[in-house]
Chains A and B, each alone.
Chain A
């Protein structure tokens, strides 16, 4: 068993494994640390939105760290809402709000922690993306790898190669679902989903008619197995009925 440590977060004693991320320890102990670019779907984290900063006091020294990627290595005392942190967070929030003024999730967060007022920053009108890269991570984790960051510096954005519909994309919406700011746009009609400059045919459950995803994503998810024609709940229902028919008299 790995070494256990006791640390203090906002005065509360918390036990954790050595090497565990500070954010996880805080969350488990009911201490809220705000974050945008953190998703529990992945083991490695982006540390990109910088909203999850906290103050760590270790061996008499205090430093500001991003809690989502800060592994607890020794005993320490953590402040998640100290004056310094609140001030710095509100500066980070101001940067994020100027970067992506249209991001719906920011309104709530600004209300909660405030954003430093400044006229030194340019606001990118209509922008929602904070370039955290969660979508790219999701797409790669899935094994499709259809999108990536393109260009660098102020020109940086997320896109498919050449801004064209990508053969690698299956239209599964993983990128849009993981996006913390709702920046990935797509549209759907009764039969088609359009995302990343490409149209995908939607498939419906042959039983209940619910959308199961795009044709490409269903085939991709099935890998070498038989491609399902029913949604999960209908399939279970069928299986249960079959079991009942088989074992009725047991």
Chain B
């Protein structure tokens, strides 16, 4: 994406909302979705549009785990570490991902393909342990399934079974 395209996309996202501060979070989420992170230009543009301090948006963007100020991978792998998932071995999934991708939770692979995140509860405790890649849920996961799943994404877009 060129800078110009990026700027246009930002203006599009911002213009879709009325100039009211309560839309800040929704607009930030849209930006996160469009760029896999929130660019600085995006914050500046949104602050101008909503008429609120840039610092306030920055505070929001750093508060929510779902928003990121540094580029995230194309596939965001979320490992649930809520109570149920933790008890059923979610940390083993994290270890397995580390050996597969070489990154710890919170990091992004160098090729920009994967980001691994540890999240607190995805609300699917009955299916523990749960791993979510972008919007696809992988339930009742066993450690030995992890490399296969990662490989399927590496080969460009996995099937949503």
* Pair A148/B40 contact, Cβ less than 8 Å: no
What 5 additional pairs, Cβ within 8 angstroms, besides A146-B55, A151-B62? A145-B53, A149-B63, A151-B63, A161-B54, A162-B58
A144 to B69, CA, bound (A): 23
B113 at the interface (CB under 8 A from A): no
* Pair A160/B55 contact, Cβ less than 8 Å: yes
A158 to B52, CA, bound (A): 18
* Pair A150/B53 contact, Cβ less than 8 Å: no
B159 at the interface (CB under 8 A from A): no
B97 at the interface (CB under 8 A from A): no
> How many CB-defined contacts (below 8 Å) exist between A and B?
39
Against A, the Cβ 8 Å flags (1 = close, 0 = not) of B56-71 are 1111001100000100
CB distance from B57 to the nearest CB of A (A): 8
- Choose among B43, B53, B58, B69 the residue that contacts A140 (Cβ–Cβ < 8 A): B53
Interface, chain A (partner B; CB < 8 A) = 139-140, 144-152, 160-162, 166, 168
- Which range contains the number of B residues in contact with the other chain? 10 to 19
Q: Which A residues are in CB contact (< 8 Å) with B62?
A: 150-152
CB-nearest residue of chain B to A152: B63
- Choose among A144, A148, A166, A168 the residue that contacts B59 (Cβ–Cβ < 8 A): A148
CB distance from A170 to the nearest CB of B (A): 13
A152 to B57, CA, bound (A): 14
* Pair A166/B63 contact, Cβ less than 8 Å: no
Q: Which A residues are in CB contact (< 8 Å) with B57?
A: 161
* Pair B63/A168 contact, Cβ less than 8 Å: no
- Choose among B43, B52, B55 the residue that contacts A147 (Cβ–Cβ < 8 A): B55
A140 to B53, CA, bound (A): 8
A229 to B57, CA, bound (A): 36
Q: Which B residues are in CB contact (< 8 Å) with A168?
A: 53-55
A146 to B40, CA, bound (A): 15
CB-nearest residue of chain A to B59: A148
CB-nearest residue of chain A to B58: A161
A161 to B52, CA, bound (A): 13
A145 to B55, CA, bound (A): 7
Q: Which B residues are in CB contact (< 8 Å) with A144?
A: 53
Q: Which A residues are in CB contact (< 8 Å) with B59?
A: 148-150
CB distance from A190 to the nearest CB of B (A): 30
CB distance from B25 to the nearest CB of A (A): 15
- Choose among B40, B43, B54, B58 the residue that contacts A150 (Cβ–Cβ < 8 A): B58
* Pair A161/B63 contact, Cβ less than 8 Å: no
CB-nearest residue of chain A to B57: A161
* Pair A166/B40 contact, Cβ less than 8 Å: no
A139 to B54, CA, bound (A): 13
